[in-house]
Amino acid sequence: MQTTLEYWNTLANQTILIGSLLSGFSIAIVANLLVSDQNSKLINRILRLATISAGCFLVSVFAMFQISMVTTPGGYITNVTTRDFFIPRVVGISTFMIGLFALSAIIALSGWAKSKKTGIFTSIVGLLTLLLILTTMLRIKY
């Protein structure tokens, strides 16, 4: 069954919205950690994950923007097929997923900076978050 261009257009636009919000959130984490006085291994790992997350979501936004531009009815390209945006599709979906993994890892690691109990709690929440997101995303047809 062939996926329609309208479907790709809607999916791209929704991914742009979600990716923009999540990249902004990740950038805010990076900014807060950069001005923080804490300089432990854990904080540096969270900073790296937040940077990866922000970068991946930004790449995903621009890849999906390309798909949105190509699949918009009356756009600048006529007779579009899904092969015309294969690379933006692969890059956009891949970087979005990497961003989700990194953001879930940030959630999981964040509590360990406070205490062991909080760390266990945030690890469980981070893992459950990732599992629930992946469970719902498996229903999306790419």
Instruction: Report the alpha-carbon distance of residue 88 to residue 15 in Å, rounded.
Output: 13
- 142 located within any domain: no
Nearest to 54 by CA among 34, 28, 74: 28
What Å distances lie between residue 135 and 2, 10, 59, 75, 124, CA to CA?
Answer: 23, 21, 23, 34, 16
Note the pTM of the prediction, 2 decimals.
0.87
Q: What is the pLDDT of residues 79-94, one digit of tens each?
A: 777 788 899 999 999 9
Q: How many domains does the chain have?
A: 1
Residue 127: inside a domain:
yes
For residue 88, is it within any domain? yes
Going residue by residue through the chain (142 aa), what tens digit of pLDDT does each one get? 567 888 888 999 999 999 999 999 999 999 999 998 888 999 999 999 999 999 999 999 999 999 998 888 876 676 777 788 899 999 999 999 999 999 999 999 999 989 999 999 999 999 999 999 988 887 665 5
Nearest Cα neighbor of 104 from 42, 33, 53, 40 is 53
In a domain, 105, yes or no: yes
DSSP state of 114: T
Distance CA 51, CA 54 (A): 5
